[in-house]
Chains A and B, each alone.
Chain A
Amino acid sequence: MPKTHVETTINGEPQEFLCEPSESLLAALRDGLGLTGTKEGCTTGDCGACSVMLDGRLVPSCMVLAPEAIGRSIETIEGVAQGDSLHPLQQKFLEHAALQCGVCTPGFIVAAKALLERNPDPSEEETRYWLAGNLCRCTGYDKIIRAVLDAAAEMREATA
């Protein structure tokens, strides 16, 4: 069976790759394209470490078949910072010590960014429920939630 040829857009740039038809988008990103910022924690959609945006919607990339990316637009953690300039969420994660081991961090940042794009002023509860699919075993979530709320406040101020 020949491999599937996928033409897609990743972080705003056209990309093409070959994949097995049954391969996950997660595997294609990591192994095919070297975009290892998207992490594998479970491959069953239960940990959020592989979160990416697919046509503007937050999805677990382990639950997407790589060929589904044909003609779609994908955003990964590698596209969040603009050059050397960190996204406010990234900056706040650093300032709040919101990561310990850091393996869940890319997924949290991608997911939190999706939240703030929809809701620039989320409550603590909304933030906790939105991020309930991102497991973190190190922090107890406290500093992560604070970092997201603080980034939201700063982003609101910047656009006010």
Chain B
Amino acid sequence: MSERKFKYVGTRPIRHDGVDKVTGRANFGADFDAPGMLHGALLRSPHAHARILSVDTRAAEAVAGVKAVLTGQELPKLQSMWMGGAEGGIDFRDIAENCLARDKVLYHGHAVAAVAATTPEIALQAARMIEVEYEELTPVLDLEAAVASDAPILHDDLQPIGATDPLPEGPTNIAGRVEFSRGDVDAGFAEADVVVEREFRTQMVHQGYIEPHACVARIGEDDQVVVWCTTQGGFAVKNYSAMVLQMDPAKIKVISSEIGGGFGGKTTIYLEPVAIALARKARRPVKMVMSREEVFRATGPTSGTIVRAELGAKRDGTLVAGRLSMFYEAGAYRGSPAGPGAMCAFGSYKIPNFYIEAHDVVVNKPKVAAYRAPGAPMSTFATESLVDELARELGLDPIEMRLHNAVDEGDQAPYGPVYGPIGLRETLEAARSHPHYKAPLGQNQGRGIACGFWFNAGMSSSANVSLHADGSAVVATGNPDIGGSRAAQAQMVSEELGIPVERVRPVVADTDSVGYTDMTGGSRVCFATGMAVIQASRDVVDQLRARAAQIWGVELDSVAWEDGRALPANGAEGDHEPLPIEELAQQMGRTGGPIVGKASLTAPMAGPGFATHLCDLEVDPETGASRVVRYTAIQDAGKAVHPGYVEGQYQGGSAQGIGWALNEEYIFDERGEMENPGFLDYRMPVASDLPMIDTVIVEVPNPLHPYGVRGVGETPIVPPLAAVANAMRGATGVRFTVLPMSPPRVLEAIDA
């Protein structure tokens, strides 16, 4: 790729939606009201596993102020149909029954019935008056219990999917299995001078977005449904709700609000079909807002896992063989990120012989949802811990060991494709030369290093760029802006049109106003939607050039576009005065009409993202309490469009990973009830827990994108689990294989 000189890309403009967000004017999911609106509330299951024998809603319906009551039986009964996807798949029957249980409740907190009433308090009180008769069943609360031969079965009709060869006959909780392999694993291990083997465990953890799920559904007079909601994908809400309610998607318009964090957790639906159904019954708008407790109990965290891992190397550090057997909790319905976990586990290294198998296992816990690089942090926790162990056993520097085995352009990814230009080596070299790596460690401190890989997604996007008569532009896309993507899109328009970023207005369009766009997820927005924005902008430029050609009476190829102006070119230089965009825009009514650039595309591939993280940890040997005292995140961004928000992704993903490593976990009692469904005891990092998080942006351009952009959002959460564990190994001499490394667990291991 030729070095392109950018004027706007790579700068740090103030985001367009910023003033609204620092002044409190921005409207998030719960900030909408509709005239005549009712409030919805859900009755949730007190059991983790039970059959619903009967639901009696009469008492609730009799409460003054109650306008509609809804049970799962009233939703259309769907047939199971599995649709695979890169970050896990979906089955609309499961989505429907997760919104409102039909015959069985499958986790504590599973929604059973809903009420719409004139106030939230009446709705909640009435919901609690719905009488449900349950037949309690034994809950299946961990992976080992789920795969045991005598395990209670969650779904009698569950058909395993994927590499089904060794899967059991008959009813099972193993919903699927994937495998990847290369070379001859046994021969590889036989060749190894050192082999390390461990079993790793992680617990369910939540994305922890600060904004709870919320929506308002209204039925218009023409029966058109309008849904305002906080989501990572308006089109997903529209299409999923249409499937669940068996409606024509054209009848549902989704307006996404500002979104208060998602990290994958808002890529599915919980409230929206219920709110629509209640609104249809009551003939009034219905608002539903989850409490924090509901968010923890009944939205999708990510899987708890067991990873049995083995890695072998030659004396010089060359990796020769790897073996992984992994189990991921899917929660109540199939669809854990076992697949992407398996894809990423060995993604950073040239390993000639490996075998990876990963199981998707249903348990009586909330159905998992995507969480930032779904599946990859857990498998990478195992592999990067083992690479660290090998380096220790072989007396090698952990960065040199990794550089020795790092994948390069032309190497094959464990799941098949051949890597194009990638930046793993560059991140490792940047780590080696970073002052952090050379800084002395204090007493009771250890340093950990870990790499991480995420494949990134492309998928479908649309964009419209409309020109105004004064030469300013609006760019509309269908991706909710979860962390500054609007600013980046405006920068791309600026780069193409040659107008200042402040003259571009980026908007998140509703689902009636822009072409189909896949969700904000998979680190795809700046990459794929960005490409659509660039193409739509180029469409505008082509139209502007055509107008200039018309005005000048020359051929189109005699008009160039540079710096916001049409210039005579191709031999016509000097014949005409340059025409700035303002003039062309002013005349567009007379030269052919309004100018709107459009683009829709599907990006089948993306450019993978690699990172290397450095972590210094200090441990109190008498209490087991630990603190991250220094942290550096280094990652290949391809090309950073807005470096401030790229750094923010590195920092935020690191912080989430640190929380996962040290303190975050779902704690369940023996009945399957989550014991810590609040921010007090679900311990996400607070400001005083963390140091500044240094970042280094490496730029190895991605040839699949016109500017070289690659997705950056997900990779940052992949290395921290192992980086922290490797630092803990350095600080305490103990290899931790179970997360979180909470003070009691650390002290017990130190004292052992």
Contacts and interface: CB of A to CB of B under 8 A. Distances in A.
Query: A–B direct touch, CB within 8 Å, in complex?
Result: yes
Interface of A: 20, 30-31, 35-44, 46-47, 49, 76-78, 80-81, 86, 89-90, 93-97, 99-106, 109, 124-125, 127-129, 131-146
Nearest to B24: A37
Nearest to A96: B644
Nearest to B682: A46
A103 B22 contact: no
Contacts of B24: 35-38, 76-78, 80, 106
Contact of A133 (B25, B207, B678, B686): B686
Query: Which 4 A-B pairs rank lowest in CB-CB distance, beginning with the nearest?
Result: A37-B24, A103-B260, A140-B655, A97-B644
A40 B29 CA distance: 11
Given A46-B680, A78-B23, A143-B648, A94 B212 contact: no
Given A96-B644, A100-B482, A139-B652, 8 more contacts: A42-B678, A94-B19, A103-B28, A103-B210, A103-B258, A103-B260, A131-B687, A138-B261
Of B26, B30, B687, B693, most buried by chain A (CB within 10 Å of CB) is B687
Contacts of A139: 648, 651-652, 655
A101 to B, nearest CB: 4
Nearest to A148: B687
Contacts of A46: 678-680
Given A90-B22, A100-B484, A145-B692, A140 B17 contact: no
Contacts of B212: 40-41
Interface in B288-305: 289, 291-292
Contacts of A103: 28, 209-211, 258, 260-261
15 contacts: A36-B30, A39-B28, A42-B678, A43-B291, A47-B210, A77-B24, A86-B23, A96-B644, A99-B18, A100-B648, A132-B688, A135-B686, A139-B652, A140-B654, A141-B651
B235 interface: no
Contact of B14 (A95, A124, A134): A95
Contacts of B679: 41-42, 44, 46-47, 135
Contacts of A109: 22
A37 B207 CA distance: 23
Nearest to A141: B687
Contacts of B655: 137, 139-141
A140 B22 contact: no
B692 A142 contact: yes
B656 interface: yes
A132 B686 contact: yes
B195 interface: no
Contacts of B210: 39, 41, 47, 49, 101, 103-104, 135-137
Contacts of B736: none
B399 interface: no
Given A103-B260, A138-B652, A77 B17 contact: no
B328 interface: no
A94 B260 contact: no
Nearest to B481: A101
Nearest to B211: A103
B690 interface: yes
- Dominant SS among interface residues on chain A: loop
A86 B692 contact: no
Contact of B263 (A76, A136, A137): A137
Nearest to A143: B648
Contacts of B19: 86, 90, 94
Contacts of B23: 37, 77-78, 80-81, 86, 90
B405 interface: no
Interface string B478-492: 000011100000000
A93 B22 contact: yes
A36 B25 CA distance: 7
Contacts of A138: 261, 483, 648, 652
Interface in B255-280: 258-263
A137 B292 contact: no
A131 B482 CA distance: 23
B242 to A, nearest CB: 27
Given A46-B678, A102-B21, A104-B210, A128 B688 contact: yes
Contact of B483 (A76, A101, A128, A140): A101
Contacts of A142: 647, 651, 690, 692-693
Given A80-B23, A145-B692, A41 B483 contact: no
Contact of A97 (B12, B207, B654, B688): B12
Contact of A101 (B14, B260, B654, B684): B260
Contacts of A31: 33
Interface string B24-54: 1111101101000000000000000000000
Nearest to B39: A31
A4 to B, nearest CB: 15
A140 B484 contact: no
A132 B212 CA distance: 20
Contacts of A94: 14-15, 18-19, 22
A78 B377 CA distance: 40
B15 A40 contact: no
B211 A41 contact: yes
Interface string B302-314: 0000000000000
Given A137-B207, A140-B693, A44 B678 contact: yes
Contacts of A105: 21-22
Contact of A134 (B482, B680, B687, B692): B687
Contacts of A86: 19, 22-23
A102 to B, nearest CB: 3
A145 B687 contact: yes
A39 B257 CA distance: 14
Contacts of B689: 132
B719 to A, nearest CB: 14
A86 B258 CA distance: 21
A35 to B, nearest CB: 8
A97 B647 CA distance: 9
Of B209, B291, B686, B689, most buried by chain A (CB within 10 Å of CB) is B686
B208 interface: yes
B645 interface: yes
A92 to B, nearest CB: 9
A95 B28 CA distance: 22
Contacts of B27: 36
A146 B693 CA distance: 11
Contact of B648 (A97, A124, A128, A135): A97
A129 B689 CA distance: 9
A141 B690 contact: yes
B292 A101 contact: no
Contacts of B292: 41-44, 47
